[in-house]
Amino acid sequence: MTTERPVDADPGLDPTAARVEPVAGQALADEVSGANLSGYARLWWQGIRAGELGSLPIILGIGVIVLVFGFLDDTFLTERNFTNLLLQMCGIATIAIGVVFVLLIGEIDLSVAFVSAVGGVVMTLLLRPDDPGWPWWAAIAFALACTTAIGFVQALVITKAGVPSFVVTLAGLLIWSGVVLILTTQASSVGTIRIQDETVVGIANDFLSATAGWVVAGLVVAGYALVELQNARTRRASGLYAKPVVVMALQIVGLAAVTFAAVWYVNKDRGVPKVAVILLVFLVIWSFIASRTTFGRHVYAVGGSAEASRRAGINVDRVRIAVFMISGFMAGVGGIMLASRLRSVATNTGGGNLLLLVIASAVIGGTSLFGGVGRVVSALLGALVIASIQNGMDLLGLASGTKFVITGLVLLAAVLVDAYAKRRRAARGVL
Amino acid sequence: MATADTPLLELRGVSKAFGAVQALYRVDFEVRRGEVMALVGDNGAGKSTLIKSVVGIYPFDEGEVRYDGEHVNIHGPRDAAKLGIEVVYQDLALADNLDVVANMFLGRERTRGGLVLDESSMERSSRETLDSLSVTTLRSVRQTVAGLSGGQRQAVAVAKSVMWDSRLVILDEPTAALGVAQTRQVLDLVRRLAERDLAVVLITHNLHDVFEAADRITVLRLGQRVAQLERSQTSQQEVVHAITAGTLDHVPGMEDVGRVEA
């Protein structure tokens, strides 16, 4: 799962070799005071106060949700419901990954919900037995090619014609909802098409065995630990500041505790959903691309200052186009997950509040609407909050109207936190 | 062939018009290695146009550009960068959300295997460069640029420009928004660039900066060069006079009249 992570193999940087002395004359106060645990904690707290909130609001949010719904409804915290919650979350989180990239460059994609529906519908139509009866992999590949192409076309209009992404993707929202309607009503008089391919249905309805679940959890923790240790090793070998060992150990133990607890809990029910593993793979790949590659760096740069990026020789339009293609691709993947979960597509696929939930997930997860700030993993955290709230409200049997109002208020709260954090950052001059 | 005295950059009779507006008219300009050439003039004198044309953003309408003694055609910032010409723009061109290292390597990131960012190597080089320029006020090279003071940001922008084996650094109003102490630091930095044998062009409004940091002074007025002075042999008065009332060879709209005292 984490084999894509970089492995530092620079022979010149052997940690046992003579230490490269840190450059003299630099007053690097942070690094000196951050060298032990209490110093690190103090810096972290300073960061929070200055508006570098990271994942803190979301962790507090999840805590509140667990307390409130756990108190109001006995079934909310059961292993069965936790597994259901994971299943409900995966489609949203997958689409939200693409939206995170779009938000990072300071744009918006309002078409993702219906683009995801196009992906689901195209795949389903191609899978119909004997009509044309494509194998599952070909149908999925073609569906993803379609949604990626949609992203490409929308990005061309945005970059070449200079129309704001808000307007272009709003038009896209209408166009692709129409296309979904046309395709589904033409293919079926009742407007619902069932998926009969077992592999595709299995995407969101199959589970790993208990053992396989433990193996995945082990891989996740081991992979994370390996990457962290390698990083620290290279940095120390180069004479650069690295996180204190205690902090690193605490983070690894923390991740291990959460991961193994989650696997233990879902194993008491049906096991780790396959779709969750697929989401995990995409999370790791896209996190890697965003944080460790030149392309990812340019995405953040374009979001921070398109003009500075242009002057630095970055092809800004190409970055924008690639990001909208990622958005289209991930929407397609999410659409396939959602279709698989329902074992069908229908005229209303991609409608309802899907768009709202996806964008809310990205924003609640901590991706700034102002561009340039956020992480891919925020798609997962935000979707967890959103899906928990939906799930809890369903359990309580709230009316649709009430659910919309509450979801809207949660989104508003997240945006206010973002705006407040940005003000704090600006006040202290830290963005 | 280039000799030690050959200017690194030499413009001969360059002109540039935007429609009916003659932004530059037959301007000569030169800068040598190891010297700071100040480029001064009032608003609209053509300073920015001259620089943007040198790096190929606007092509000159006529005239010749010689670099290192040879005729060159520069068609864009990439060509300019290849020749070792770096511009530090007035509004800095840094991405606020990225840290100092990311900004210094923006668009020229070092990678391992062409894919993965080599953060350690970039961080080390950034520090070495900042250190070699005696930039000592940064808290950490991993802090975001938005958290830096104006002087620190300017220092980062300047340091960025010298990382790339550059030979000519053009600074556009580097002290415009700075306080006294920070201006001092940036001007010291400018001097250190020249001591490294780089050719430096310092565009400025501020005569204090000119007399503090420059070796020679080129004065533009209404798109024409009205004076080229040695700092040691001139006075603020003379420079001010040139800026406000320098002798024009050509008066816009009066082409046929010939030499006119303005």
Averaged over successive runs of 10 residues, the pLDDT of chain A (431 residues) comes to: 38 35 41 65 75 75 90 92 93 97 96 97 94 94 98 97 95 96 90 92 94 95 92 83 84 93 94 96 96 95 92 91 98 97 93 90 87 91 92 93 90 84 67 41
Residue A430 pLDDT: 47
Residues of chain B contacting residue A372, judged by C-beta atoms under 8 Å apart: 95-98
CATH number attached to the domain at B9-257: 3.40.50.300
- Note whether A365 and A262 are same-domain residues: no
Picking from B47, B88, B33, B36, the residue whose alpha carbon sits closest to that of residue B214 is: B36
When CB atoms are compared, the residue of A31, A237, A238 closest to B140 is A31
Picking from A143, A144, A145, A120, the residue whose alpha carbon sits closest to that of residue A195 is: A120
Report the C-alpha dihedral over residues B189, B194, B199, B203, rounded to 10 degrees: 40
Report the C-alpha dihedral over residues A241, A244, A250, A251, rounded to 10 degrees: 0
When CB atoms are compared, the residue of A6, A238, A431 closest to B97 is A431
Residues of chain A contacting residue B103, judged by C-beta atoms under 8 Å apart: 308
- Note whether A242 and A313 are same-domain residues: no
Picking from A293, A287, A301, A295, the residue whose alpha carbon sits closest to that of residue A380 is: A287
**In whole angstroms, what is the distance from residue A141 CA to residue A270 CA?**
29
The reply to whether B111 touches chain A by the CB within 8 Å rule is yes
Residue A20 pLDDT: 35
Residue A11 pLDDT: 36
- Note whether A350 and A241 are same-domain residues: no
Measure A311 CA to nearest chain B CA, in Å.
7
Q: Are B219 and B242 in contact (CB under 8 A)?
A: yes
Residue A8 pLDDT: 37
Q: Are A221 and A370 in contact (CB under 8 A)?
A: no
A22 assigned to some structural domain: no
A229 assigned to some structural domain: yes
A239/B138 Cβ within 8 A: no
The DSSP annotation for A48-115 comes to HHTT--TTHHHHHHHHHHHHHHHHH-TTTTSHHHHHHHHHHHHHHHHHHHHHHHHHHTT---TTHHHH
At B219-245, the pLDDT tens digits run 998 888 888 888 888 888 888 888 888
Q: Are B11 and B29 in contact (CB under 8 A)?
A: yes
Q: Are A12 and B122 in contact (CB under 8 A)?
A: no
Tokens describing residue A161 = 């014609």
**In whole angstroms, what is the distance from residue A114 CA to residue A179 CA?**
9
**Last residue of one domain, picked from the residues A272, A296, A324:** A272
- What angle do the packed helices A165-187 and A112-127 form, to 10 degrees? 30
Residue of A309, A311, A423 to mutate when probing chain B, most B C-beta within 10 A: A311
Count: domains in chain A: 2
At B162-183, the pLDDT tens digits run 887 789 999 988 888 788 888 8
At B75-130, the pLDDT tens digits run 887 788 889 998 888 776 789 889 999 999 998 899 988 888 998 899 999 988 88
Tokens describing residue A119 = 């992906």
Picking from B76, B17, B32, the residue whose alpha carbon sits closest to that of residue B218 is: B32
When CB atoms are compared, the residue of A6, A294, A373 closest to B109 is A294
- Note whether A258 and A290 are same-domain residues: no
- Note whether A268 and A278 are same-domain residues: no
For A6, name the nearest residue in chain B, comparing CA atoms only: B116
A28 assigned to some structural domain: no
- Note whether A196 and A224 are same-domain residues: no
Residues of chain B contacting residue A27, judged by C-beta atoms under 8 Å apart: 136-139
A30 assigned to some structural domain: no
**In whole angstroms, what is the distance from residue B160 CA to residue B86 CA?**
9
Count of H-run helices and E-run strands, chain A: 17, 2
- Note whether A279 and A377 are same-domain residues: yes
Question: DSSP 3-state helix, strand, coil percentages of chain B (rounded to 5)?
Answer: 35, 25, 40
**In whole angstroms, what is the distance from residue A132 CA to residue A341 CA?**
22
Residues of chain A contacting residue B152, judged by C-beta atoms under 8 Å apart: none
Residue A427 pLDDT: 66
Residue A271 pLDDT: 93
pLDDT value at B197 more than 60: yes
Residue B240 pLDDT: 87
Determine the structural domain holding residue A242 and report its residue range: 208-272
Residue B182 pLDDT: 82
- List Cα–Cα distances, A183 to A51, A112, A136, A161, A171, in angstroms: 47, 18, 19, 29, 18
A363 assigned to some structural domain: yes
Residue B14's H or E segment, with its range, is strand B9-18
A17 assigned to some structural domain: no
- List Cα–Cα distances, B98 to A84, A364, B95, B106, in angstroms: 39, 22, 6, 9
A16 assigned to some structural domain: no
Residue of A2, A231, A294 to mutate when probing chain B, most B C-beta within 10 A: A294
Tokens describing residue A115 = 């683009």
Looking at residue A142, which CATH number applies to its domain? 1.10.3470
A157 assigned to some structural domain: yes
- Note whether A78 and A201 are same-domain residues: yes
Q: B227 pairs with which residues across the strands?
A: B219
Residue of B94, B111, B112, B120 to mutate when probing chain A, most A C-beta within 10 A: B120
Residue B32 pLDDT: 93
**In whole angstroms, what is the distance from residue A303 CA to residue A106 CA?**
5
Q: Are A143 and A336 in contact (CB under 8 A)?
A: yes
**Last residue of one domain, picked from the residues A223, A248, A272:** A272
- Note whether A239 and A136 are same-domain residues: no
